[in-house]
Structure 1
Amino acid sequence: QVGMRQQWELGQALRRRYRGFLSDTYRRQEIFIRSTDCDRTLMSAEANLAGLYPPGGQEMFNPNISWQPIPVHTVPESDERLLKFPLGPCPRYEQLQTETRHSAEYVNKTKENWQFLKMVAKETGIRNISLESVWSVYDTLFCEQTHKMDLPGWVTPDVMTRLKELKDFGFQFLFGIHNRVEKARLQGGVLLDHIRKNLTKAANVSAHQNLKVLAYSAHDTTLVALQMALDVDNKIQAPYASCHLFELYQEDDGNFSVEMFYRNESGKEPFPLTIPGCQHKCPLQRFLELTDPVVPQDWEQECKVSSSMHDTELFVGLAVCGSILLLLIILLMTVLFRIQSQPPGYRHVSNEGEEQP
């Protein structure tokens, strides 16, 4: 119930922030909510909306229930290409991850924590635990801790701190460390592209749109992927009920600007985020220019491993095979030459014609 309460409080905070902008009562033309097809994200959206739109007057379909149904849209998990990260299948992204595993930062981090990871593996019984999988241990322990459950004896405060640091590093591995911009084009840039298009559409004053809010209920990895694409990530795991806000303003001269805010602590106002290369109140056109490099033009095409890479790998493979074959031929010829060059061996003939005892 902690998460439900946090989302309900977030909904109330959004109601206070946008009072006068959003209608006091729910109007379906003003808001569209999209969630991943996961129970927890769907429930989060519903709890949030309960705080954002508490029913009153004719909206009360039952005087004993201070709640009204509001639609939350989703797609099957198999069709999700917007909010669940990392997106896949994407061969080029997997290739970048392989390169990341060989980066100095990743290798050094593994060496520094090797004994610690072995200890965690022994205590949990999880085989082959790594920087990429240790997050599941921290998540489980954190949930147990949040719900006041007793933790195993080996889980000290120092262990929890270290596990959290490794989980944060795991998120950096997914979307950064090596070639962040290209990773962003294949991951968070997909969602950012969707947001950019909606901001541009909303700035079209001739369209006479009624839609005021687009809300997404997703995951911590969704938030990290988006913020890494924007280059505003703080390298700390997003806590429950975190919220990244994009706000579009029309200035006195008729031009539009974008402001971003991040709420990562219940009970506190969201703080401003500034995209590198612009001020906090960033002109829409400048915002689009700065984010262009991390937005894919054709995601499926960019996910393919280029033919030049395939050709290089094939050439290297053939060269290696050819070298091995040449060495085997040389070795075989050397052996045959030595056999042919040896003098005839002696034959044992001493017993010929002799009688056996």
Structure 2
Amino acid sequence: MGETCLARSSKYLYFSLLGLIFPFFLQSVLGRELKFVLVIYRHGDRSPIEVYPTSLHNESEWPQGFGQLTKIGMQQQYELGQYLKKRYSNFISTAYKREEILIQSTETDRTIMSAQANLAGLFPPSGDQIWNPKIIWQPIPVHVVPKADNPKLRFPMFNCPRYKKLLRETMRSNEFQAKIQPYKEFMKTIASYSGYDPRTLIYLDNFKMWHVQDTLFCESIHNYTLPVWATQDVRAKLAELTVLSLSSLFGIYKREEKARLQGGLLVKAILENLSRAAKNSEKRKMLVYSAHDTTLGALQMALNVYNERLPPYAACQIFELYQENNGEHTIEMYFRNHTVKDPCQLTLPGCSSACPLSKFAELVTPILVEDWANECRQMGGGGKIGKCSQA
């Protein structure tokens, strides 16, 4: 028996109303809305920062010299940009809109170029944004943050007497000595291979052991000839020492106090941006920082979520701010350290994976400092610490 016009009309009205109501019902069930995203990533693949004395290769063998982004690094950042575009396709506009996103970078060539390559993947021009049909790319501003003016993205900072004192205490601490002891003979062997004075390599904060490992790592990626002593086992052990070096800078001993003088500065900037986004309904939806592995290491150790591994090229730390259906704001943290796997979710110790903004602020309060310069002067000491060389 056929439907009456009234029945068909009623059914049409029912489904029409359902179509209008369902999205709101679904949003209510899900109970949350993404409000703001903050991204911090390490630059892409680069040439070595410097080489050890007996290195088989010198700076002239690298197309752009030391510490520069390579084509592999450009590809890594382009891929990360594409990933971010896909992840936030329902949040940020497909086309670049300057009021929606701000990109900041440290002052090094590799981080600035990484941001540019990332943006090429994130915002390829379309429609009236295409200014040259032969180049599917558009210029997007990358704002440089000089370390001298704002040190939030460059760690470690050695111009802090209190931190230098803590670092010396770390090197003498039982915790550090217990970790370094198994490597003592190995370090002597590496000293003889690399041409460094053994007394130089024992201080991990001067980055010399780090540069031996890093140089060999860069050369292996780009198929440069390695010295016969640089076996896979040797390089693996050097990587372990590099992790220990990073940990000694920001953790192992008096982690919380170190965080107040190092990564805590970035945590404070992140918290301020998330809190501002929660209070205001601004047009800006995303803030991006292009930085270094030490930036990520300092940040993750300050938050006590470090995984005891070196952050790979184009590793990406994500903070997402949500508004729940009860009006409360929560923060979720993710770390992407692999291009073919989903990011792993990180949980701030003492909180849930979706951490209320107020609870997040309470938990990180011990590592926030209001007057950094003054706190650096407290109980400071002399002593010479090697200059930082960002990786």
Same fold, TM-score > 0.5, yes or no: yes
Change in Cα spacing, 1:79 to 1:70, as seen in structure 2 (3 Å) is same
Partner of residue 144 from structure 1, selected from 194, 199, 219: 219
Structure with higher RCO (Cα < 8 A, 6+ apart): 2
Structure 1 residues 187-196 or 260-269, which shifts more? 260-269
CA apart distance, 1:150: 1.9
- Unaligned 5+ residue runs, structure 1? 311-357
Distance, in Å, in 2 between the alignment partners of 1:197 and 1:270 is: 24
- Report the equivalent of 1:220: 293
TM-score by length of structure 1 reads 0.83
CA apart distance, 1:80: 4.1
Distance, in Å, in 2 between the alignment partners of 1:273 and 1:110 is: 28
- How many residues are matched? 307
Change in Cα spacing, 1:77 to 1:186, as seen in structure 2 (3 Å) is closer
Q: Please show how residues 116-131 of structure 1 align to structure 2 within 5 Å.
A: 116-127=186-197, 128-130=200-202, 131=204
- Report the equivalent of 1:89: 159
Distance, in Å, in 1 between the alignment partners of 2:223 and 2:351 is: 44
- Report the equivalent of 1:239: 312
Alignment partner of 1:45 is 2:115? yes
Q: Deviations over 1:96-125 (max 9, x none)?
A: 001101111322333322221111111111
Residue type of the alignment partner of 1:276: P
1:94 alignment partner, SS class: helix
1:65 alignment partner, SS class: coil
Structure 1 residues 143-152 or 71-80, which shifts more? 71-80
TM-score by length of structure 2 reads 0.76
Q: Please show how residues 255-270 of structure 1 align to structure 2 within 5 Å.
A: 255-270=328-343
Distance, in Å, in 1 between the alignment partners of 2:178 and 2:343 is: 35
- Report the equivalent of 2:135: 65
CA apart distance, 1:211: 0.6
Q: Deviations over 1:134-158 (max 9, x none)?
A: 1111111101111122211000010
CA contact (8 A) 1:186 1:303 kept: yes
User: After the TM superposition, which parts of structure 1 deviate over 6 Å for at least 4 consecutive aligned residues?
Assistant: none
Distance, in Å, in 2 between the alignment partners of 1:73 and 1:55 is: 20
Q: Deviations over 1:255-301 (max 9, x none)?
A: 10000000001122211000001110111101110111111121111
CA contact (8 A) 1:36 1:80 kept: no
- Report the equivalent of 1:297: 370
CA contact (8 A) 1:245 1:261 kept: yes
CA RMSD of aligned residues (A): 1.5
- Report the equivalent of 1:208: 281
- Report the equivalent of 1:179: 254
Q: Please show how residues 273-352 of structure 1 align to structure 2 within 5 Å.
A: 273-306=346-379
Distance, in Å, in 2 between the alignment partners of 1:17 and 1:35 is: 22
1:4 alignment partner, SS class: helix
Alignment partner of 1:251 is 2:324? yes
CA contact (8 A) 1:138 1:164 kept: yes
Alignment partner of 1:32 is 2:105? no
Distance, in Å, in 2 between the alignment partners of 1:179 and 1:106 is: 11
Distance, in Å, in 1 between the alignment partners of 2:271 and 2:305 is: 16
CA apart distance, 1:48: 0.5
1:259 alignment partner, SS class: strand
Distance, in Å, in 2 between the alignment partners of 1:76 and 1:246 is: 23
Q: Deviations over 1:183-214 (max 9, x none)?
A: 0000000000000001000001xx33111000
Residue type of the alignment partner of 1:123: Y
Structure label with greater radius of gyration? 1
Alignment partner of 1:23 is 2:93? yes
- Unaligned 5+ residue runs, structure 2? 1-70, 383-391
